[in-house]
Structure formats: C-alpha cells, structure tokens
Copies of this chain bind each other. A is one copy, B any other.
C-alpha cells in the first residue's frame, strides 16, 4: 500500500509523550496522595455508558449533541462518558444498601465531549472528580472545600495565587426573594440571568431582569450584593435556611483557618439546576489569567434516576487537567525536572562481557535506584549524548581495567565530577 496514514492524533485529543506523561503523573500523583491522606477512596467506571444515562439528565437531544454516541450491534445506544457524575450515581445506586456512608470518593479519568476544540477545551480531557455522598450537614461542604484547598496547597500554591469563591443556591433564592419579592421559580429565573451577567452587555442584563419584574431600584439592590461580604449579604434575609447555611460554613472556615483562602461571591451560580445548596468556584488570582478554574457544590437526590424514592445527597467538584496545568505553569509551580532524582546509565565497551554490566545494574535495582544498561553498540561518545538528552544524572563506565580492579567509574553529569567506586559498593554509593 502506498498511501501513508496521518501521524496526527484525532482532532481535540492529545498524545502524551514521556515528558507530557511525567507531568500528568506528577500532578495526578500529588492529588492522589493528598486525597488518600484525607481518606478519600478512589473509584473508576467504564468509558462507555448507556446513552440513557445522559439523556435522562440533559434530554436526549443535548445528550446526543454533546457526546460521542452510537448504537451497538444489539441496538443499545451508547455514549463515551462526557462526565463522571451519571456513572458514579449509577454505581452508588447499584450498591445503595451496602455502602458505608458517608462516602468520600474520588476518580481521575478521561472523558470525551463533542465540541469545537479551543484553548483549555479539548475533546478528550482528564478530570478529577471529588465527592462526598450521604452526609447532609455543612461539615461535608466544609470537607470538600478543604480538600480543594489542600490540593492547591500540595502544589505550593498560596492564598495569593488562588481563592475559593463561595455562594449558596438556597441563599440566592432567599435573598432575591427578599429583595424582589419573587417566588422560587422567579428567583431561579433571576439566577439564570445573574449566571450570564459577565457574558452579555450590561443593558441586556438589566433588560432581562426587568422582564422578570425587577425595577431599577431592585436591580440596584441586586447589584449591591456583588460587593458584599457574607455578614452583610446574609443580613438581608437573616432567618432563612440559605443564610444560616452560608453563615455556618463561613464560621467553620474561619475557625479552621481556611477563611484566608475563601470569599463570599454572590455571582457564583454554576449554571446547572442540579445544585441545591453550597456552590463554589476556585479562581486563579493571577492578573493575566484571573478566572474560575474549577468548581462544584451540593446537589441532592443523586440516585433518584435509578431508585424510586431514594435520596442520597452529594457535594463535590470536578477539575480538568488542562486547567490545572495552565495554573501551575502560570505560577511557576512545575519543577524543572520531573521523575527520578537519580537516573543512572551504565555505558558499554565491546571488550567487557554483558553480564558484568547487568550485574552492576542489578545491584542498583536492588537498592531501588533507577538505572539501565545502554542498549546497542554505539561509540562511547554517542552513549553519553544519549544520557544527556534523556535526563540521566549519572553515567557509569567500566572498561577492562576497571573490571579487573573490581571498580566502576561514576560520572555526575551535573557537576562533571568523576569517582571510582568498588562494584560491590555501587548500590550504597547512590543511596
């Protein structure tokens, strides 16, 4: 066949070469450790799910439009998962009676969304999902926000680099109702307008609110909320459940020393109808990149689509790999070298038998030191070039003389220092 295939990955997807993979493993490794230390348990589910799972949540049309979907030979409608929530809801529902609540669960998985690729929005992306299921009190909201802060801090980010913007959907409805006299449905409609405030011209924003019955004075009172702290804002409807929830959460954030990372923000809505209480978004505070990176909130009735009359609440968030990577790069939080701090190449000469070299490498491996024998028969200079290009920190050499003397020459590629080490001590030398 003469037609040659393209070497490009499919549009909107990425190849992870070793250096890309080291970065991905580094940041998801840090996240995994931070979450496991806080007793979050990792789970995973299949890449393919029944299309019904997404259709039930978003309607069939939207589900079909936004996912990669197709019909299998048995006539089942399938979709590649565009998000994790329906999968985890299904998993919790399947074992609802036997699970040990509250569940603190997380997942690091790839997803596919059928959309036009653009900066920060790929068709295939990796996503962290963190959730607590089966705890109705504000302590779970606190724990989830706390975990998001821990992750950022695990990377060395401080309160000058990021901020958690917090609101509460119940409070939103309560305070809009108090100001504008709207009923629950009316407040929800206002939330849709507020959610799009920064995406439309000011006059359209006002026009939309006017259409919902808010006059200029009421709009001004809504406007004032954006600048308020949590005490001032909650004072507008002090006896409502929403205000109480917000105050409890902020009091706990303060007492546990997390308040410096957090701020009340009336503008945080998080589009989906799905959220019922606390909602939050973590912002990048870099002036050149100031924007929401990821977020989440409390939602109820997770398993409702699967089990009649069952009710298990959840609170959680999701974070994409591209977003996190952009943040870490902007704030210079990615170390210059990733991977093993010591990486040793055993070079070769033709006149020394293979097994003399593999014995040295075996000694290094026995001590857990990252090492390999150079594979092939290139000249010594080429072997050194290979080592430098591939980030080896040390090069060993052993010719006939060294072998006879029972030593190996160790060259540190950073300091250029060279040392002769007895073969039997080579493991200890690097420890």
| Residues of chain A whose beta carbon lies under 8 Å from any beta carbon of chain B | 1, 4-10, 13-18, 20-22, 24-25, 36-39, 41-50, 52-53, 56, 68, 70, 72-73, 76, 78, 80, 87, 90-91, 93-95, 100-102, 104-105, 110, 112, 114, 124, 132, 135-137, 139-140, 143, 150, 252, 255-256, 305-308, 339-340, 343, 345, 353-355, 358-359, 365, 368-373, 375-377, 386, 389-390
Contacts and interface: CB of A to CB of B under 8 A. Distances in A.
Given A10-B76, A22-B42, 8 more contacts: A1-B56, A4-B308, A8-B94, A15-B91, A37-B368, A37-B369, A70-B70, A72-B114
B355 A255 contact: yes
A217 to B, nearest CB: 40
Contacts of A39: 343, 345, 370-372
A17 B256 contact: no
A76 B377 CA distance: 44
Given A80-B47, A358-B256, A37 B137 contact: no
Contacts of A389: 100
Contacts of A93: 7
Contacts of A7: 90-91, 93-94, 306-307
14 contacts: A4-B307, A9-B45, A9-B90, A15-B90, A16-B44, A17-B43, A17-B95, A24-B44, A37-B365, A38-B365, A39-B343, A47-B47, A137-B377, A252-B354
A238 B122 CA distance: 57
Given A39-B372, A370-B37, A50 B10 contact: yes
A5 B368 contact: no
A134 to B, nearest CB: 8
Given A10-B49, A112-B48, A5 B56 contact: yes
B47 A112 contact: yes
Given A91-B15, A93-B7, A256-B355, A376 B45 contact: no
Given A102-B375, A376-B135, A52 B5 contact: yes
Nearest to A134: B376
Contacts of A255: 353-355
Contacts of A90: 5, 7, 9, 15
Given A4-B307, A68-B48, A102-B376, A18 B42 contact: yes
Interface centre among A53, A94, A308 (most CB of B within 10 A): A94
A375 B132 contact: yes
Contact of A306 (B5, B14, B47, B78): B5
Interface centre among A4, A110, A255, A340 (most CB of B within 10 A): A4
Nearest to A143: B375
Given A7-B90, A256-B354, A386-B100, A46 B124 contact: yes
Contacts of A38: 365, 370-372
Contact of A305 (B5, B110, B306): B5
Interface centre among A14, A46, A340 (most CB of B within 10 A): A46
Nearest to A136: B376
B5 A53 contact: yes
Contacts of A16: 43-45
A13 B358 CA distance: 41
A45 B150 CA distance: 30
Contacts of A340: 36
Contact of A46 (B14, B132, B376): B14
The 4 closest A-B pairs by CB, nearest first: A13-B46, A18-B41, A39-B372, A7-B94
Interface centre among A21, A78, A101, A132 (most CB of B within 10 A): A21
A132 B373 CA distance: 13
A321 B72 CA distance: 25
A365 B150 CA distance: 10
A41 B21 contact: yes
A14 B340 CA distance: 33
Given A48-B10, A375-B102, A36 B354 contact: no
